[in-house]
Amino acid sequence: MNRLQDYENRLMGLIPPERIKTADVPRPSQEIIDAFYEMEGLTPTISDILDSLGVKGAIPASSLRPVIPGKKIVGPAITIRYIPERITPDYGFANQEKAKLADRDLYAIGKEGDVPVFDAAGLKDISVMGGLSALVAKKWKMAGNIVDGGVRDIDTIRQLDYPVWSSGQTPITGKYRVEAIEINVPITIQGIRVHPGDLIVADDSGVVVVPFEKIEVVLEKTKEAAEKEKKITELIESGASIEEMKKILPPSKW
């Protein structure tokens, strides 16, 4: 059910309301989110666990690069899908057409700690968000953005200290070049499927997408793996013998 009236005072009418599929996104508990945040080396460990569960969900940082290195985010996805505009930017500017970027309406239906995820049709040289967008996202307490597309105002995003991962950095606006077609529907980023409510974890190694129904099992396995990794690290640091290390090192590690 769509309960958009709850968000009326924040929606800017950037996208027709019927294209906002839902505002009711499933979300994991804060305890679960906090438990992930407490651990180190998150995306590599979760990537291994997704492999072991037969789930495709990892995207390397070489494809979705952090705008600010050293950031880590964990939170449920809210999604937006873009397609290319038919008109040319010249026509759009000359005729003062309505711009069809709808990032702020996506944040408007988000909750504190959500991760806005953008499917921009692989158009990495065209911006679907910039500094103003990051300012609004930060004000409304989004955790950070994942953009399979271009972003701009890189200096402002860094000054705001708002975490963003993207497939492109560009000065070229998406205004009159792309159109927001749907909000909170399943989308694709770098060939990986994302549903609203899936858990997004991102750090310097990349981005992982944990399907909503697998979040708890992935948390348990991530905790176990982190414990093992800690033991292995201690063993190596204490000068363990090759024989001892051979017993625990990968691929049998997990």
Ligand X SMILES: O=C([O-])CC(=O)C(=O)O
Q: Are 43 and 205 in contact (CB under 8 A)?
A: yes
Binding residue for ligand X, selected from 43, 47, 133, 184, defined by CB under 6 A: 133
Contact with ligand X (CB under 6 A) among 89, 92, 113, 131: 131
Residue 174 binds: one of Mg ion, ligand X, none (C-beta under 5 to 8 A by kind): ligand X
Q: Is 153 annotated as a binding residue?
A: yes
Query: Does residue 167 bind ligand X (CB under 6 A)?
Result: no
- The 3-state DSSP class for residue 150 equals strand
Taking the least distance from each CB to Mg ion, the nearer of 44 and 131 is 131
CA dist 143 and 177 (Å) reads: 27
Q: Residue 127 or residue 167: which is nearer to ligand X going by CB?
A: 127
Q: Is 90 annotated as a binding residue?
A: no
- Which of 70, 67, 72 is CA-nearest to residue 159? 67
127 is an interface residue for ligand X by CB under 6 A: yes
| Distance separating alpha carbons of residues 181 and 191, to the nearest angstrom | 19
Separation between Cα atoms, residue 197 and residue 42, nearest integer Å:
19
For the chain, give the longest Cα–Cα distance.
Answer: 74
Least gap, CB of 188 to Mg ion (angstroms)? 26
| Contact status: 174 vs ligand X (CB under 6 A) | yes
Q: What residue ranges bind Mg ion (CB under 5 A)? A: 130-132, 153
x/- string (CB under 6 A) for ligand X, residues 80-109? ------------------------------
Q: With respect to Mg ion, which residue has the nearer C-beta, 36 or 82?
A: 82
Tokens matching residue 70: 């050293």
Is 147 a binding residue for ligand X by CB under 6 A? The answer is no
Angle at Cα 81 formed by Cα 75 and Cα 86, nearest 5°? 160
CA 231, 29, 33: angle at the middle one, nearest 5? Answer: 40
Residue stretches of the annotated binding site for substrate:
152
Positions touching ligand X (CB under 6 A) are 127, 129-133, 152-153, 173-175
